[in-house]
A and B are shown apart, each in its own frame.
Chain A
Amino acid sequence: MSAEIRDVPPPGPLADVWASFTENKGAVAGLVVIVAIALVAILADVLAPHSPIEQYRDALLVPPVWAGGSWSHPLGTDDIGRDILSRLIHGARLSMIIGSIVVTLSLVAGTVLGLAAAFFKGVTDIAIMRLMDIMLALPSLLLAIVIVAILGPGLFNAMIAVSIVTLPHFTRLARASAMSELTREYVASSRLAGAGSLRLMFMTVLPNCLAPLIVQATLGFSNAILDAAALGFLGLGAQPPTPEWGTMLAGSLQFIQRAWWVVSFPGFAILVTVLAFNLMGDGLRDALDPKLKR
């Protein structure tokens, strides 16, 4: 696809972004990994060799295939005989869902709040931004724990908690870029042409603020996965037997000396996913921000 577009002279804006994105090798690697994880998540039912919650009680703590295990459990089994590979595959689906829902929620809510603050100024601005400052003043994980403690533990509540915690970043970003756009002439001319506030907000200004928001959304994706895993690790996120990565990690911590694979693989999955999103987010920022372009 990229090749076809690049063949067309002169390059369109999308192709331009793609061209500078592909210059960053790390970002491309991140994108490849994310696409792979997304495919695995979508095809989890086909790819997973076993059910993620089936306990094979005659195969407890079987090591991975290269460490003396068997091909029926390529990455080994955990302490109650569940296939680790299958749990990781289904966990990928959960992590992707968590990331998408959290980012969608906080992106939409944050953008609306940020634009409102920028447009209406005065009391609205102060009220929204001071609330965000208060939320930012608290460590994000601590705030998430408080919210989960109020709502009760569970995967859905954990997602709501993480969305609320990441909200201030989107709000501040949306407000800042909307404020700078508002002074531009095209906005003034649109206003003179008789555009209402809503039209100005969402049709005129918003498309021009999207670049930093997209970057923040990509980076927020990895934060969301990490925070949800942390909540799962603390027993506040996904409840057993849901194969969520953080929960898997917490449940098997006592085996770190005896059966490294039970602990290492979920940790490795979290690491790779979060790293991939961060790399891609970095590349995207470089590509979208004209100031950083060579």
Chain B
Amino acid sequence: MLVKNLIPLAAGALVAMAIAGGASAATLVYCSEGSPENFNPQINTTGTSFDAAFHVYNRLVEFERGSTKVVPGLAESWTVSEDGKTFTFKLRRGVKYQSSNTFKPTRDFNADDVLFSINRQWKADHPYHKVSGGSYDYFGDMDMPKLLKSVEKVDPYTVKVELNEAEAPFIANLAMDFATILSAEYGDVLMKAGTPEKMDQEPIGTGPFRFVSYQKDSMIRFQAFDQHWNGKPPLDGLVYSITKDPAVRYAKLKAGECHVMPYPNPADLPKMREDKDITVLSQEGLNIGYLAFNVQKKPFDDKRVRQALNMAIDKKAIVDAVYLGAGVAAINPIPPTLWSYNTSIRDYVFDPAKAKALLAEAGFPNGFETDLWAMPVQRPYNPNAQRIAEMMQADLAKVGVKAKIVSFEWGEYRKRAQAGEHQMAQLGWTGDNGDPDNFMYVLLGCAAARPGGSNIAKWCHKPFDDLLVAAKRTPDVAKRTGLYEEAQKIFKEEAPWFTIAHSVVFKPIRKEVVDFRISPFGRHQFDGVRLN
């Protein structure tokens, strides 16, 4: 597999060198949607920050570009024990670290770096644990502290990980951004210099691009890393030009000031398709947009009320008007492209009369008053939460439910929704690792229903949770599929959410960009991309 990989890469490198020799260096400009909080994916939770740090680093295992398939990264191979609890990773040799003005690496990547990266997040007594706030949300949300029993260095190129319980999605989890491998040597140098927080601001990693500079709200610059273990990427430079407004991003793309832009306005797509210089790539997204009912608050503790609202809102109208055909109405909490999607489940039919009857049965013949939260920003799974809220408000008014639309600044919004301050709140999710566990357990499991957890319906239903935990413990995909299909039935019956839609993801790129692939996880990856 190594040899297979090398031939196109070598060819690519030659072409790149020829181009670089003949013309100016190939620099791709990506009009990103916002400023990253920092450059360490271990302490981030937003796609914007993950994108900014992605190319600097590698992980033990990687997702193949444009797919959910897990391929070797810094670990060349691995073995799993019979009981599914012990993982032994063989590390790649001769992997170089990037250098910067302040740091010159003296050694190659080895097991110490893996231990450093995991222990920083795991062990409270690790010297770096408290640096930059010391909050490792993803590590915690993926249940790592509970799951890990020990991480040992067997020899410089072998790492053994023992788990407390078998966890089927474990390998896929290690390909996620939070499992990024930092440099232990860089950590030591910075600690001695007394500036440990620089690790998260001026990143050093083994990835295909080297960090050069960052100006908040303006741009991030990267340079190709020639000594990258997988060969120098075809591009010479990579620039993130930070552009918050989708209309401005479109204007810049049109003018050739950037090559790739994320999150276009759905309303602009027809115009973009007509433009000869722009190609609009699309892919069914690995995502879900939903309206969660807070089951810990009245009147949503009553299943009948939740079901009634599911019947009262016209989903088709929302998908037509707001997603503008770039989405499919959602039935289950996972998208249809994900394995174990239960196709036999029928959605609630839009029927205001029946909804009214059900509300009356639940003791609300004249409806009730509630709040309805709407995100202030455009998300990949929801192009315009405010408009959706207005449509829901109109539908709900017809069955007597008076909804007041509420919104906060985006960071505040997530914090308050996770704390469970709302009655009804819109939110959504883009998958991280292509496993149904990453949707259902994270968004609907009991562990995430705690205040501050990502289960914003605050719904903890024992039979449902038991199925999810059982599916986690077995590596057998057929058996897991059965368990998840059963769980989706319970979900629909209990109705903790009004599932809105799975959106199709669009990436407008200029025609000179070659081999850009849409990541199912919402990342923007440029290491194999070329420019004509």
Contact = CB atoms under 8 A, between A and B. Distances in A.
Interface of A: 53-55, 57, 60, 79-81, 235, 239-241, 251, 253-259
Given A254-B384, A257-B267, A79 B322 contact: yes
Contacts of B270: 258
Nearest to A254: B265
Contacts of B389: 240
Given A57-B317, A254-B265, A256-B247, A80 B271 contact: no
7 contacts: A53-B394, A57-B321, A79-B322, A80-B391, A240-B405, A254-B265, A254-B268
Given A60-B321, A254-B247, A256-B247, A241 B267 contact: no
Interface string B347-387: 00000000000000000000000000000100000001011
A257 B376 CA distance: 21
Interface string B257-290: 0000000010110110000000000000000000
B384 A235 contact: no
A54 B395 CA distance: 10
B482 to A, nearest CB: 39
A257 B268 contact: yes
Interface of B: 246-247, 250, 265, 267-268, 270-271, 314, 317, 320-322, 376, 384, 386-387, 389-391, 393-394, 404-405, 407
Nearest to A253: B247
Contacts of B247: 253-254, 256-257
Interface of B: prevailing SS: helix
A267 to B, nearest CB: 15
Nearest to A81: B321
Given A79-B321, A254-B384, A256-B247, A55 B265 contact: no
Given A57-B314, A257-B268, A240 B321 contact: no
B371 to A, nearest CB: 12
Nearest to A262: B267
Nearest to B376: A235
Contact of A80 (B265, B390, B405, B407): B390
B296 to A, nearest CB: 25
Contacts of A55: 317, 391, 394
Given A81-B321, A258-B268, A259-B267, A251 B391 contact: no
Count chain B CB atoms within 10 A of each CB in A57, A235, A254 and give the residue with the most: A254
B271 A257 contact: yes
A251 B387 contact: yes
A255 B267 CA distance: 6
Given A256-B247, A257-B247, A60 B391 contact: no
A157 B21 CA distance: 64
Contacts of B246: 254
Contacts of A81: 321
Contacts of B407: 235
A251 B386 contact: yes
Nearest to B407: A235
Contacts of B314: 57
Nearest to B393: A241
A235 B405 CA distance: 11
Given A235-B407, A254-B246, A259-B267, 16 more contacts: A53-B394, A79-B387, A80-B321, A80-B387, A235-B376, A239-B404, A239-B405, A240-B389, A240-B405, A241-B393, A251-B390, A254-B267, A254-B268, A254-B384, A255-B267, A258-B270
Nearest to A58: B317
Contacts of B405: 239-240
Nearest to A57: B317
A235 B410 CA distance: 14
Nearest to A54: B394
A241 B389 CA distance: 10
A149 to B, nearest CB: 11
A235 B267 CA distance: 21
B380 to A, nearest CB: 15
Contacts of B322: 79-80
